Each structure stands twice: as C-alpha cells, then as structure tokens.
C-alpha cells in the first residue's frame, strides 16, 4: 500500500514513524509545523498511519499526543548509519527511510553500525531525561547489567559512543554503542547524574594545532588543508572529546613534536596548558607532564 501513496505523504508518514521510534511520542502539531500542512491533512496522515500500523501508536487525550506502544514495530526501515549522522547534526526527519537523494560521495566505514532500536531507546531516554538499564559487554569484565543516565551520542570517527553517568562507578563515562545489547527505560535521574554535572562535557578547552615541525617539508599545504591563520589553528572542544579529535587527526602530542611518520602532519603546541583532561590519554604521544 505504501507504494501507491504519494511521495509527499510518505515523507510525512516516515516522519511520524521516526518520531515514535526515537522520541517515543509525537504531537499532531509537530507534523503540521514541520510540513506546513493544514489540520485536516495532518489528521488524515495520522489516520492513515494508524490504518497501516494499528499497533504502533495510541492517542492520549489528556496530553493530546500520540505515544509509541509496547508492540511498536517501525513501518519504515530507518538506516542506522544515516540516522546517527542526522541525529548528531540535529537533522531529525526520517526521510532516509523513503529514499533520500543520493550523492556520489563516500566516507570511510566505521567499525560497526549500532542496532537502530538500541539507539532509539537511548535517544528516548535523553530527550525525556530518563535513566536506563542496559546489558553492556566490556573488555575488562564481560557482559553485565548496568544502570546509566545517557545525555549524548558521540562519533569519535571510528565508532559511536554514548556519554552517560554510570551508577556503578559513580562517574560520567563513554560507552561503545555496539557493546550495548539491551536497553530498558527506568525512572528519572538524580540531579548529580544530569549532563549539567558532567564537568568534562561542559568544560571547553583550547587546542593550538600547527604544522608538524619535523615531518612536514611544506607547511603551507597543511595550513591550507586546515584553514590555518598565522600558521596555526586554534579550536575549542569539549574536554571529553579532545582525545578523540587528536587521535582522529593523528596530532603529535609529544612535548617537542618527536613522533615520526608521514601520518603525523600536525603538532599540539599548547599541551602544557592542558591539565586534568582524562580523554587526552588516548591522544598520540600524550603523557602527563611532571
């Protein structure tokens, strides 16, 4: 039946499906505002969606919005990789499920693509400020149940993480999405578990990047690559993300720029000004100054 529906209406149905999957609920006005359609057209879209997937949503007359049911199964197939990129860039439309325009541009593949339903539950928890119970498999202790309070999904260039308060260690940490095998929504978190209390996430630190002093023969080329001004690139990043960026860009973080190899084209010049940043431990050549 979907094949016989107009492209425009399939877009609206995919948006309803997307909101139910990732937000757990949708107002009729959300659809009307997103697509600038009339009230009657919006009502027809919800009625058609319910006809196609009667067990996917239920209407709460008190809150005046549609909620995802326990029997929810997506009406459309949402591509996990595209959806994660859209969520990371705040493009929440679900249109990839009906065939986005494809451009001949490719990017390196990540290690693995997380389960779309795991991602959806975590996003629901973040948007509604809920804790979650998960089954997480770590390198050190194997599979075990953990309670987390997630607040952000992070792309480190190789794989996806969820940034969350971990009730086991009583600290904010990163958890690899593909190592999470089950997510159950729990109650509201404590104040100390919210993103506002994540110091490494809230703290912005400056990174002063310059062409590598030994590995680059023509630094002007590197200056052009990174849009440097006065032979340097100064960027502010979250302390929790700094190590990921430095490792992704192969930035030499040694004291005097001593890493050898053509892959090290940048050097972190202001490493001495960075203090107490746990994430920097994964950056190439970084050691704590004594």
Residue 46's nearest CA partner among 25, 73, 63, 62 is 25
Q: Give the pLDDT score at 102.
A: 40
Region class of 90: left (phi > 0), else alpha (psi between -120 and 50), else beta = left
Give the mean pLDDT of 268-290: 83
Q: Work out the average pLDDT over 230-242.
A: 95
Average pLDDT, the chain: 89
pLDDT, tens digit (0-9, with 9 covering 90-100), for 55-88? 999 999 999 999 999 999 999 988 777 777 777 6
Q: Which CATH number fits domain 2-98: 1.10.10, 2.40.420, 2.60.40, 3.40.1050?
A: 1.10.10
Q: Per-residue pLDDT for 97 more than 70?
A: no
Whether the per-residue pLDDT at 171 is higher than 70: the answer is: yes
Mean local confidence (pLDDT), 135-139: 94
Say which range, 10-19, 64-73, 96-105, has the weakest mean pLDDT: 96-105
User: What band does 106 get if pLDDT is binned at 50, 70 and 90?
Assistant: very low
Task: Give the tens place of pLDDT for each residue, 184-201.
Answer: 999 999 999 999 999 999
Q: What is the predicted pLDDT for the residue at 105?
A: 45
Alpha-carbon Rg for the chain, nearest whole angstrom, is 23
Contact 286, 280 (CB under 8 A): yes
| pLDDT of amino acid 148 | 98
Instruction: Give the model's confidence band at 157: pLDDT under 50 very low, under 70 low, under 90 confident, else very high.
Output: confident
Report CA torsion sign: 213, 215, 217, 222: negative
Over residues 5-25, mean pLDDT: 91
Query: pLDDT higher for 154 or 232?
Result: 232
Give residue 78's pLDDT: 84
- Structure confidence by residue, pLDDT tens digits, 200-219: 999 999 999 999 999 999 99
Instruction: Give the model's confidence band at 276: pLDDT under 50 very low, under 70 low, under 90 confident, else very high.
Output: confident
Please give the Cα distance from 189 to 104 (Å, whole number).
44
> For residue 60, what are the β-bridge partners?
65
> What CATH number does domain 116-198 carry, 2.30.30, 3.30.2130, 1.10.3470, 1.10.10?
2.30.30
Alpha carbon of 54 to those of 17, 30, 97, 218: distances in Å?
12, 20, 19, 64
pLDDT value at residue 77: 87
Element (H, E) at 17: helix 7-22
Domain locations in the chain as residue ranges: 2-98, 116-198, 203-282
Instruction: Let me know if the fold of 2-98 is the same as that of 116-198.
Output: no
The SS3 of residue 94 is: coil
In b/e form, how buried is each residue of 57-80, taking b as 16+ CB within 10 angstroms?
A: beeeeeeebbbbeeebebbbebbb
With 90 as the cut, is the pLDDT of residue 156 above it? no
């Amino acid at each position: 039946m979907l094949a016989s529906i107009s492209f425009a209406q399939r877009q609206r149905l995919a948006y309803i499906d997307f909101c139910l999957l990732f937000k757990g609920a949708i107002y009729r006005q959300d659809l009307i505002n997103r697509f600038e359609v009339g009230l009657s057209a919006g009502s027809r879209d919800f009625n058609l969606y319910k006809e196609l997937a009667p067990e996917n949503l239920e209407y709460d007359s008190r809150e005046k919005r549609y909620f995802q049911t326990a029997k929810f199964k997506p009406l459309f197939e949402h591509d996990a990789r595209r959806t994660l990129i859209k969520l990371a860039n705040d493009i929440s439309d679900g249109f990839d499920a009906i065939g986005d325009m494809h451009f001949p541009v490719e990017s390196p593949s990540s290690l693995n693509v997380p389960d779309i339903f795991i991602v959806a539950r975590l996003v629901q928890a973040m948007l509604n400020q809920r804790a979650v119970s998960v089954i997480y498999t770590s390198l050190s202790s194997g599979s075990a149940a953990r309670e987390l309070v997630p607040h952000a999904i992070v792309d480190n260039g190789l794989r996806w993480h969820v940034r969350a308060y971990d009730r086991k260690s009583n600290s904010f940490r990163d958890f690899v999405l593909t190592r999470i095998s089950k997510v159950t929504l729990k109650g509201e978190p404590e104040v100390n578990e919210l993103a506002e209390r994540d110091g490494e996430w809230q703290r912005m630190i400056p990174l002063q990047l310059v062409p590598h002093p030994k590995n680059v023969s023509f630094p002007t080329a590197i200056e052009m690559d990174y849009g440097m001004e006065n032979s340097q690139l100064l960027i502010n990043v979250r302390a929790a993300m700094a190590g990921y960026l430095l490792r992704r860009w192969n930035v030499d973080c040694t004291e005097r720029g001593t890493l050898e190899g053509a892959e090290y084209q940048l050097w972190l010049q202001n490493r001495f000004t960075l203090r107490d940043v746990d994430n920097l431990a994964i950056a190439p050549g970084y050691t704590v100054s004594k």
